[in-house]
Amino acid sequence: MKKLSKLPLLFLIVLLVSACQRNITRNGDGSLVVTTSITQQELQEDITSSIADPLVKNVTVSLQTGYVLVSGERQRLNDASKTDSLTFRLDLSVSNGQLVASVTDAKLDNIAIEQNRVDHWNQTIANRLSNIGGRSENSTLQSISITPESVTMTWNVAKQ
C-alpha cells in the first residue's frame, strides 16, 4: 500500500468537513487542483465572523460580478435603540498564490471607517476564506472569481 503524505491528507479532510462545494482533480505530476465554491450565505457568515463586532447585526452580502457589496447595522454604544448603517465593497484577488481581500468605501452612516479597522477586516476575511479553501503550506491560489451565484477559488496543491 502506498503511504500518503500527511499534509495532503489533512488538506482533503479539511475540505471534506467544510461546508463549501469542492472539486478535486489530480494532475499528471501528482499535484492536486482543488476548486471550491462558496455561496452567498457561507460568505455572509464568514464576513460577519470576520467583522467580530457584537454591535454589528443583520449583515447582508450581495454577490456582484467581480466584487461583493456588504451592508449591515451597528447598534450605538450610547443608545442601543438606535443603529447606524454599515456598508463596504469587498474585492477578492490573488497575489503570489495568496488570497487578498480589499475592503473599500467602508462607511458607518456615511462616515469613513478608520483604516486600521479596515486593514484588520482585510486580513481576517482573507484568512477565513483561505481556510475554507483548505490553505496549507504547499497550496497556492491560482484564481478567484465572483459571480452573482458564488465565489469560486482554484488552488494547486503541490505533491510533497
**pLDDT tens across 12-51, in order?**
444 444 445 667 777 777 778 888 899 999 999 999 999 9
Locate the domains of the chain by residue range.
6-157
Q: Which residues contact 74 (CB under 8 A, 6 or more apart)?
A: 53, 55, 56, 57, 83, 84, 85, 86, 108
Single-letter residue type at 28: G
Residues of the chain with pLDDT under 70: 1-22, 133-136, 160
Sign of the four-CA dihedral 69, 101, 95, 5: negative
Q: What is the pLDDT of residue 34?
A: 84
Single-letter residue type at 80: A
Whether the Cβ atoms of residue 82 and residue 73 lie closer than 8 Å to each other: no
How far apart are the C-alpha atoms of 6 and 3, rounded to whole Å? Answer: 9
Q: What is the pLDDT of residue 117?
A: 95
Q: What is the pLDDT of residue 10?
A: 45
